[in-house]
Amino acid sequence: MKRVYLTGFMGAGKTTVGRALAEQLCVPMIDTDSYIEEKIGKPIKQIFVEEGEAAFRRYEREFLRTLPPDKRIVTTGGGMVIQPENREWMKQTGMVIYLHCDFAEIMRRIADDDTRPLLSNQLEDLQRLWEQRLPYYSEAHIVIDTTGKRVEEVVQEIMEWIKKTENRQE
Ligand SMILES: Nc1ncnc2c1ncn2[C@@H]1O[C@H](COP(=O)(O)OP(=O)(O)O)[C@@H](O)[C@H]1O
Ligand SMILES: O=C(O)C1=C[C@@H](OP(=O)(O)O)[C@@H](O)[C@H](O)C1
Ligand SMILES: [Mg+2]
């Protein structure tokens, strides 16, 4: 099985779905946010406050290239796609799956979460960010709309895509 990258906006369910998917497929997964936190030794929120967003984006670019090769499912942070070289790297080294979700549902899912520094922005700014990023997310090999779906349904859909893609390669 090729490496699978999950992309999408904050709250699309990348980390949750990726964990469940890895369990079902019995393959190792890694979350780029957790990897950065472990490497740098502080939570993302603290990195943003002490070093700024630009430093976090540098870590994303650098660490994407050093992920342990055995990790088959890679769940990314919502901003991983901002840098064109990251989009290119992911497309070249695996199958990129974009988990889409309506903005309103995204906000319902994560509004109370205080671990995401960008959520302190005004709602209109967040919606603008969501819109700005849509074309980047859409460069993925596969797009899955998660709006109104349960985590298990999304996992099932991804499993079917992986099967289809593997059959085509045989
Ligand atoms: N399909 C879904 N339906 C409802 N809630 C979801 C779904 N996927 C994720 N969630 C919830 O949304 C929140 C954010 O999920 P998370 O996996 O951290 O998203 P991401 O990694 O994309 O930011 C969590 O509370 C999670 O349980
Ligand atoms: O969209 C973004 O720029 C970010 C998304 C977060 O990850 P999730 O998408 O897993 O919430 C995390 O990487 C950081 O707070 C920045
Ligand atoms: Mg996540």
> Complex ipTM, two decimals?
0.98
pLDDT at 17 over 70: yes
Q: Is 109 annotated as a binding residue?
A: no
Confidence at residue 1, expressed as pLDDT on a 0 to 100 scale: 81
CA–CA dist 123, 119 (Å, integer): 8
Q: Whose CA is nearest to atom 3 of ligand 1?
A: 150
Tell me the mean pLDDT in the region 153-166. 93
pLDDT at 169 over 80: no
Domain 4-169 sits in CATH at 3.40.50.300
Q: Is 146 annotated as a binding residue?
A: no
> pLDDT band for position 166 (50/70/90)?
confident
pTM comes to 0.97
Structural domain boundaries of the chain? 4-169
Mutate to test the pocket of ligand 2, among 48, 118, 136 (most ligand atoms within 8 A of CB): 118
